[in-house]
Structure 1
Amino acid sequence: MKKFKVAVLSLKQLPRQHRIALVSTSLIVAAAVMWQPSSPFNKSSSFSSDGRVEVDIAVDDLEVLSDQHSEPMGVVLDPHDPEFLAPKDELEQQLENVVPEAHSHKVASGETLGVIFSQYALPLSDMYRLIDVNKSIQNLGVGQMLEWALNDEGHVESLSIKRSAKRTDVYTLTPQGYKYKAQEENGEIKPVMLTGRISGSFYQSARSAGLSPNQIQTLVQALQWRFDFGREARKGDRFAVTVEREFIDGKAVNRGEVKALYYISGNREVFVMRNEDGQFYDAEGKSLNRALRRIPLAKRYRISSSFNPNRKHPITRRISPHNGTDFATPIGTPVLAAGDGVVVKARKHRLAGNYIVIKHGREYMTRYLHLHRLLVKVGDKVKMGQRIALSGNTGRSTGPHLHYELIKKNRPVNAMKVPLPQAEPVSSSQRGKFVKLARDERQKLLAVMPG
């Protein structure tokens, strides 16, 4: 083993091109001399006294393990393991039972369908099947909105692309495969006001008022930082909601999109309205979001292993997803909270080592693995940029690094690429117009508010 380690060290000191050539030659020679008809996958591993993993590997795996400082290939942490998830409250459980988790993305300049699927770890096989149904799905325009839902197996169950104010392309998964339909809005869009009073849970009261589960989900997510309907709604609270519905020949043909909400709880009043950009703002045009930072470190470190849901084991060729981003940080490097939130897990795991999970509102979670020391405990409220831990090399790790994951709506996404929430107000050029419209809308909702 000592000679083996010396050989590894010497190999690492060579230029990359030389290493590739040397490794390739070694493999050819080894294959010719030592080949025998036994399984090539009988590799073994063991743990040394210092907690590191001693792995018997082929030479061509050296760069994967020693240079990337990532989890050994084949060791996959299940992102849906309750060990790494935040407990759900009653409202989340109610919505989970009736509403497929809806995901959305606004197309940015230069983005392709493949880029978007990669950012959100969507199955590329589904993308190719969608393209087979209608090749025009690849023609994305800047600013167009994609929305999708996944089934229990993680496949795209439905996907829509809002091409214009009047047209939406809709793809639905059926037993026979994906079906495509272009939906045209030919009717008249009219505002409908729904009102209610909290008598039990917010969910049941909103349903009684005529709101659909999807509309309730929209409001819960829009106000996740301003008002928590699961914990702060009280019996007797009053609310009024404006929903924009499409009417044909005087008959509503869809449930409509939520435009505004006015909520009164004791002496507390909450008003929000959707702007032309699709985001909700308060009456002064201020954002309801809390920002997230892309890198949970004070400075940039080399990314030793990138987010890759389609990563393959170099020997077995089986999919071995890497659901986070690894930073090659020395032991003791301060780890910062990616955003404001609450610590929901802070413990030790045999694979993840010392780890922390932070819940940011109702839509995002972040995970920090292989830590040397934890600086927070469960229940702590943290601010963006606050020190929460020191990076380390605990658990099943082949070298000091920070493994960082961003979870959006219970799905791991590429933290280095996906759009992150920003706490920016309505643009100065539109703010005056928005504030005037918001003032008028608030007065209309107040006029129909239950007494």
Structure 2
Amino acid sequence: MKILRATAFTIKKLPRQHRIALFSTCAVVAALTLWQPTSPLPQTASGQRTSIDIPLGALDVLSNQRHQEVSVAPTEPQPLTEENSEPLGAVFDQEDPEFLAPKDELEQQLAQVTDVAHTHKVEPGETLGAVFEQYGLPQADMYRLIAVNRSIQNLRVGQQLEWSVDEDGRVKELTIQRSAKLADSFTLTAKGYQFKQLEENGELKPVVLTGRISGSFYQSARAAGLNPSQIQTLVQALQWRFDFGREARKGDRFAVTVEREFIDGKAVSQGDVKALYYLSGRREVFIMRHDDGEFYDEEGRSLNRALRRYPLAKRYRISSSFNPQRLHPITGRTSPHHGTDFATPIGTPVLAAGDGVVVKASKHSLAGNFVVIKHGREYTTRYLHLHRLLVKVGDKVTMGQRIALSGNTGRSTGPHLHYELLKKNRAVNAMKVPLPQAAPVPNPMRGRFVQNAQNERQKLLAVMPG
């Protein structure tokens, strides 16, 4: 006891810096003494091992730094965190053919000749930053756009944003439709973004284009005068009702109304698609755009099929959020996380987010057992690190159907479900991005819409090719 008192007195006499150094050294020695790197992970009451996620790609760094870093085996289950729930080195290439839904001839034709246009309608309370976050657009691009014209931040409910991205994921063009006549346009050039305000000074007039299927729908529609963007609009609008890539047949007839802008009798725009009447044998397909920009059938019913936000029967804690700008905690480099991770125990039922077709059901060194489902032509969902697959390629699934059991396969160091939502082959934030809903035209406006739709249908039927 006298020795301890004497030691304590001696330490108290040391300068403060020396005392701190001495205590730090003692703590490191004690930790190294307790450190058991080969000890098994602790188990929960259910017998499952607790996971400690180490970022992939950091393993070599950690092994080289063991003489500097200290790790203590936990004595109780450790919660997954934003930094370690998903291995940070396992960045899944969004263009990896193993994960992509295969493209048919129509999709390949559209991809070759037109930039994919992404659209978003401003919701209450949304800011420009919120829109960029939902769709995984570079924050750096947003600040560059603001620097060019600060008015880009002034978004109003109902305004439509449309943009395209380049091969590097940068915003290539962005347009904000401020009103029926005015739009703000930003274009990426070699010198940076350029701003231009667009104004429609002409008169909008309907123009009807007609055609007959002689080869593919795409080629026949082009021959009738439709541009790739208009074809894409029709393909997307009817993705759940009529598949132009698989169901269009030689001899089918169609008529399309587009609204073009005219100045002094001359068309100055290609125009937006307003309505389509398509006749395939005895099958009739009619759609018309409403004031909200969405297409409906003749009775005002939605053409969409809804998607659920959560691919699970109940809410599980989100252990790692969607974050395309996520930084690797060791390297400091961007290590994107294109999905949402749910801390699910092994064996948790995984549900299809919507009606669709299974296009991938396989195993990958990083993703483990995984499933990819194509929902129409606009949306795709991915489910990774699964324990067991309950579906196979070609299966048609419905919303809420069990497709797999969650697991811990592939490059994963803890049980969880990695879930991705892709819109037009680009990852978006499944927890925040607006999802399609199968709602009809609102009751107060449905009567007028139905009457206008019936009149439009008769006009198109009258000019259909014989």
TM-score, with structure 2 as normaliser: 0.85
Contact 2:389 2:403 in 1 (8 A): yes
Which of the numbers 52, 62, 87 marks the counterpart of 1:43?
Answer: 62
**Secondary structure of the residue that 1:443 maps to in structure 2?**
helix
- Provide the residue aligned with 2:302 in structure 1: 287
Instruction: Evaluate the alpha carbon distance shift between residue 67 and residue 154 of structure 1 in structure 2; reply closer, same or farther with a 3 A threshold.
Output: closer
Task: Output the CA distance in 2 between the equivalents of 1:143 and 1:123.
Answer: 23
Alignment of 1:122 with 2:141, yes or no, is: no
Contact 2:35 2:70 in 1 (8 A): no
**Secondary structure of the residue that 1:205 maps to in structure 2?**
helix
Moved over 6 A (4+): 5-9, 62-65
Shift of 1:70: 2.5
- Provide the residue aligned with 1:409 in structure 2: 424
Instruction: Evaluate the alpha carbon distance shift between residue 287 and residue 392 of structure 1 in structure 2; reply closer, same or farther with a 3 A threshold.
Output: same
Contact 2:358 2:393 in 1 (8 A): yes
Task: Output the CA distance in 2 between the equivalents of 1:327 and 1:128.
Answer: 31
Contact 1:41 1:315 in 2 (8 A): no
Contact 2:116 2:164 in 1 (8 A): yes
2:241 aligned partner, one-letter code: R
Task: Output the CA distance in 1 between the equivalents of 2:268 and 2:431.
Answer: 40
Task: Output the CA distance in 1 between the equivalents of 2:376 and 2:341.
Answer: 24
Contact 2:106 2:218 in 1 (8 A): yes
**Secondary structure of the residue that 1:115 maps to in structure 2?**
helix
- Provide the residue aligned with 1:375 in structure 2: 390
Task: Output the CA distance in 2 between the equivalents of 1:400 and 1:319.
Answer: 24
Which of the numbers 238, 246, 249 marks the counterpart of 2:253?
Answer: 238
RMSD value, Cα: 2.4
Report the identity percentage: 73
Task: Output the CA distance in 1 between the equivalents of 2:69 and 2:362.
Answer: 31
Shift of 1:75: 1.8
TM-score, with structure 1 as normaliser: 0.88
Instruction: Evaluate the alpha carbon distance shift between residue 351 and residue 279 of structure 1 in structure 2; reply closer, same or farther with a 3 A threshold.
Output: same
Contact 2:295 2:303 in 1 (8 A): yes
Task: Output the CA distance in 2 between the equivalents of 1:446 and 1:201.
Answer: 22
In structure 1, runs of 5+ residues without a counterpart are 10-38, 46-55
Where do residues 23-422 of structure 1 align in structure 2 (5 Å cutoff)? 42-44=61-63, 66-67=80-81, 70-422=85-437
- Provide the residue aligned with 1:16 in structure 2: none
Contact 1:66 1:398 in 2 (8 A): no
Task: Map Cα deviations across residues 292-319 of structure 1 (whole Å, 9 max, x no partner).
Answer: 0000000001111111111111121110
Contact 1:41 1:316 in 2 (8 A): no
Shift of 1:431: 0.5
Shift of 1:58: 6.2
Task: Output the CA distance in 1 between the equivalents of 2:434 and 2:139.
Answer: 20
2:424 aligned partner, one-letter code: K
Contact 1:102 1:148 in 2 (8 A): yes
2:401 aligned partner, one-letter code: Q
1:137 aligned partner, one-letter code: I
1:428 aligned partner, one-letter code: N
- Provide the residue aligned with 2:17 in structure 1: none
Task: Output the CA distance in 2 between the equivalents of 1:246 and 1:40.
Answer: 60
Task: Output the CA distance in 2 between the equivalents of 1:65 and 1:285.
Answer: 48
Task: Output the CA distance in 1 between the equivalents of 2:366 and 2:79.
Answer: 16
Alignment of 1:446 with 2:461, yes or no, is: yes
Task: Output the CA distance in 2 between the equivalents of 1:276 and 1:405.
Answer: 31
Shift of 1:265: 0.3
Shift of 1:74: 2.0
Task: Output the CA distance in 1 between the equivalents of 2:80 and 2:206.
Answer: 61
2:137 aligned partner, one-letter code: L
Task: Map Cα deviations across residues 60-88 of structure 1 (whole Å, 9 max, x no partner).
Answer: 9x999954563222221111111100111
Shift of 1:44: 3.9
Task: Output the CA distance in 1 between the equivalents of 2:390 and 2:161.
Answer: 39
Contact 1:286 1:424 in 2 (8 A): yes
2:262 aligned partner, one-letter code: F
Contact 1:65 1:398 in 2 (8 A): no
Shift of 1:41: 7.5
**Secondary structure of the residue that 1:83 maps to in structure 2?**
coil
Alignment of 1:3 with 2:18, yes or no, is: no
**Secondary structure of the residue that 2:144 maps to in structure 1?**
helix
2:248 aligned partner, one-letter code: A
In structure 2, runs of 5+ residues without a counterpart are 1-33, 43-57
Task: Output the CA distance in 1 between the equivalents of 2:35 and 2:365.
Answer: 27
Task: Map Cα deviations across residues 80-101 of structure 1 (whole Å, 9 max, x no partner).
Answer: 1111001110000000000101
Instruction: Evaluate the alpha carbon distance shift between residue 203 and residue 64 of structure 1 in structure 2; reply closer, same or farther with a 3 A threshold.
Output: farther
**Secondary structure of the residue that 2:236 maps to in structure 1?**
helix
Task: Output the CA distance in 2 between the equivalents of 1:139 and 1:57.
Answer: 49
**Secondary structure of the residue that 1:228 maps to in structure 2?**
coil
**Secondary structure of the residue that 1:173 maps to in structure 2?**
strand
Task: Output the CA distance in 1 between the equivalents of 2:180 and 2:166.
Answer: 28
Contact 1:241 1:260 in 2 (8 A): yes
Instruction: Evaluate the alpha carbon distance shift between residue 64 and residue 264 of structure 1 in structure 2; reply closer, same or farther with a 3 A threshold.
Output: farther
Task: Output the CA distance in 2 between the equivalents of 1:341 and 1:383.
Answer: 6
Instruction: Evaluate the alpha carbon distance shift between residue 117 and residue 378 of structure 1 in structure 2; reply closer, same or farther with a 3 A threshold.
Output: same
Q: Max radius of gyration: which structure?
A: 2
Task: Output the CA distance in 2 between the equivalents of 1:239 and 1:347.
Answer: 40
2:140 aligned partner, one-letter code: S
Shift of 1:231: 0.5
1:229 aligned partner, one-letter code: F
Task: Output the CA distance in 2 between the equivalents of 1:101 and 1:424.
Answer: 26
